[in-house]
């Protein structure tokens, strides 16, 4: 069976004006996602919509839409096949013109740094019903300690919470914003609001920002997104 997940993850966040929304959603669902899935190395994909954000400016801080593309590796977007898709957009893609017409677009291509490899179970995992996505920066002098703590304590404790399918950590390969990304896969929207989640945080010594006050989140991070479409 073909793999559904690899070492790369391409995430596209977007806010679009109301008069564009219907055409934008139809374009994504009826053409664009299938077009990308036909490119070698694009393993699976799904679209998500914001549920809530830990950011105090949640409404403006978190883009409404998130598209997630699982890649065999982040270099897939450098291949001739992928570049052809960018160089020769379809008529519908030209009309949507997301980069120019959207009120906000974030396009980040990531390389997985934790876990170290893709297990057979992970490779066959479907796109999760809910994602919690964080985008973070940490000063270089704390980086090694912070990464070890996140991988082996902080994220590991959250991964044991009922409803949490697992977590993966990433380093930015292409794009703008924080160097690090984390994706928690959830069975439902309320996982990170449960007492078990809060207990896992306490077991880790408290919130990540409390323990590493020089760490910063990007605007709207972390955000919880529910799946709205998948091919």
State how far the Cα of 134 lies from the Cα of 100, in Å rounded to an integer.
Answer: 25
User: Number of structural domains, the chain?
Assistant: 1
Token output for 206: 């408290």
Contact 49, 226 (CB under 8 A): yes
Query: 95-133 b/e with 16+ CB inside 10 Å = b?
Result: ebebeebbeebbbbbbbbbbeeebeeebbebebbbbbbb
Per-residue pLDDT of the chain (231 residues; tens, 9 = 90+): 899 999 999 999 999 999 999 999 999 999 999 999 999 999 999 999 999 776 444 445 789 999 999 999 999 999 999 999 999 999 999 999 999 999 999 999 999 999 999 999 999 999 999 999 999 999 999 999 999 999 999 999 999 999 999 999 999 999 998 999 999 999 999 999 999 999 999 999 999 999 999 999 998 899 999 999 999
2 found inside a domain:
no
What DSSP state is assigned to residue 161?
A: S
Contact 3, 120 (CB under 8 A): no
State how far the Cα of 83 lies from the Cα of 193, in Å rounded to an integer.
Answer: 41
Token output for 98: 């997301």
| pLDDT for residue 54 | 65
State how far the Cα of 3 lies from the Cα of 105, in Å rounded to an integer.
Answer: 28
> Counting every residue, how long is the chain?
231
Q: Which of 164, 175, 200, 223 is nearest to 8 (CA)?
A: 175
1 found inside a domain:
no
43 found inside a domain:
yes
127 found inside a domain:
yes
H helix runs in 28-106, sequence order: 33-37, 58-61, 80-87, 91-96, 98-101
3 found inside a domain:
no
CATH of the domain at 48: 3.30.70.100
62 found inside a domain:
yes
| pLDDT for residue 62 | 83
| pLDDT for residue 61 | 73
Supply the range of the domain harboring residue 148.
Answer: 8-230
Q: Which residue has the tokens 């009309």?
A: 95
Contact 158, 197 (CB under 8 A): yes
Long-range contacts of 118-122 (CB under 8 A, 24+ apart): 118/3, 118/5, 118/6, 118/7, 122/5, 122/166
């Amino acid at each position: 069976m073909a793999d559904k997940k690899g070492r790369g993850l391409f995430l596209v966040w977007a806010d679009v004006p109301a008069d564009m929304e219907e055409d934008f959603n139809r374009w994504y669902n009826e053409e664009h996602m299938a077009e990308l899935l036909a490119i070698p190395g694009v393993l699976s994909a799904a679209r998500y919509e914001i549920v809530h954000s830990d950011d105090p400016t949640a409404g403006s801080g978190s883009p409404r839409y998130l598209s997630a593309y699982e890649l065999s590796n982040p270099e897939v977007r450098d291949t001739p096949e992928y570049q052809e898709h960018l160089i020769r957009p379809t008529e519908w893609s030209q009309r949507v013109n997301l980069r120019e017409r959207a009120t906000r677009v974030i396009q980040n291509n990531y390389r997985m740094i934790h876990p170290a490899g893709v297990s057979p179970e992970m490779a066959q995992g479907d796109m999760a019903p809910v994602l919690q996505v964080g985008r973070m920066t940490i000063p270089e002098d704390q980086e090694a300690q912070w990464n070890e703590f996140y991988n082996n304590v902080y994220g590991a404790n959250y991964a044991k919470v009922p409803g949490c399918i697992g977590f993966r950590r990433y380093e930015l390969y292409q794009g703008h914003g924080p160097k690090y990304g984390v994706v928690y896969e959830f069975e439902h929207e309320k996982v990170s609001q449960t007492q078990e989640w809060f207990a896992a945080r306490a077991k880790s010594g408290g919130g990540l920002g409390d323990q590493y006050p020089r760490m910063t989140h990007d605007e709207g991070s972390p955000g919880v997104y529910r799946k709205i479409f998948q091919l």
